[in-house]
């Protein structure tokens, strides 16, 4: 079976965190990005890991690789001006014979293995798949004065997460179309939408948070601590 290339997007500055580079904040004894990297390094399906980052962070990643004891081939690629540019760089750096490319937020460090494997399986079958959760909160539309102007029907509304997984040729074609047409996207499934490629939603009913603000860190640390205290078989779920 063709391998799975993992592209970890880690080129942002994390300004909303307000505490320096959020990816290297200590969470449970390891930088946040270290947990993400380790999770995919230990995934049996992984054939290689591409980390897209800023040039000034390269020394930190090289040191981190020694700390976590990487087992899968990995390399660093330069980030771009926008997230979509970083993803383009990362996907183009993957092995030409990769069957799938899985794109993961560097700050999303708790993705359950069973969820990762479910979205990989779906992408093999359909060409493109993404982890997502149903939106449970009531959604409101506001105006420039912070006044509610309407309610959004939440039926069939999903919040997408990562990993977002694609056959390599599909995501390359989708990202190329975005670049050719000068489109601005905030996630990779939007590139597939531009191409007319269907993307399968895989419901993730387990916690899969992304660290965005300082308030997210205690929750993420508690999830990681729970994994460490669980029996090995449970950790892999």
Question: Whole-structure pTM over 0.85, yes or no?
Answer: yes
Q: Which residues pair with 128 in a beta bridge?
A: 166
Q: Do 162 and 104 meet the contact criterion of CB atoms below 8 Å apart?
A: yes
What are the pLDDT digits (tens) for 174-194? 999 999 999 999 999 999 999
CATH class of residue range 4-132+160-235 = alpha beta
Q: What is the pLDDT of residues 45-95, one digit of tens each?
A: 999 999 999 999 999 999 999 999 999 999 999 999 999 999 999 999 999
How many C-beta neighbours within 10 Å does residue 33 have?
28
Cα 23 to Cα 11: distance, rounded to the nearest angstrom: 10
């Amino acid at each position: 079976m063709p391998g799975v290339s993992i592209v970890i997007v880690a080129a942002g500055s994390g300004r909303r965190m307000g505490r320096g580079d959020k990816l290297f904040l200590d969470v449970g004894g390891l930088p946040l990005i270290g947990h993400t990297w380790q999770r995919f390094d230990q995934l049996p399906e992984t054939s290689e890991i591409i980390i897209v980052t800023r040039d000034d962070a390269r020394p930190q990643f090289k040191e981190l690789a020694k700390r976590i004891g990487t087992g899968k081939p990995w390399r660093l690629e330069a980030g771009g001006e926008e997230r979509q540019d970083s993803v383009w760089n990362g996907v183009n750096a993957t092995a030409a014979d990769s069957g799938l490319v899985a794109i993961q937020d560097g700050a999303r460090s708790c993705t359950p293995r069973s969820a990762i494997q479910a979205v990989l399986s779906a992408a093999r079958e359909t060409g493109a798949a993404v982890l997502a959760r149903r939106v449970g909160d009531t959604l409101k539309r506001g105006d420039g004065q912070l006044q509610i102007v309407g309610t959004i029907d939440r039926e069939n509304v999903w919040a997408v997460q990562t990993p977002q997984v694609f056959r390599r040729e599909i995501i390359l074609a989708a990202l190329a179309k975005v670049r050719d047409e000068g489109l601005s996207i905030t996630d990779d499934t939007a590139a597939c939408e531009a191409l007319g490629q269907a993307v399968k939603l895989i419901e993730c009913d387990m916690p899969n948070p992304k660290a965005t603000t300082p308030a997210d860190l205690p929750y993420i640390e508690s999830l990681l601590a729970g994994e460490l205290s669980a029996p090995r078989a449970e950790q892999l779920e």
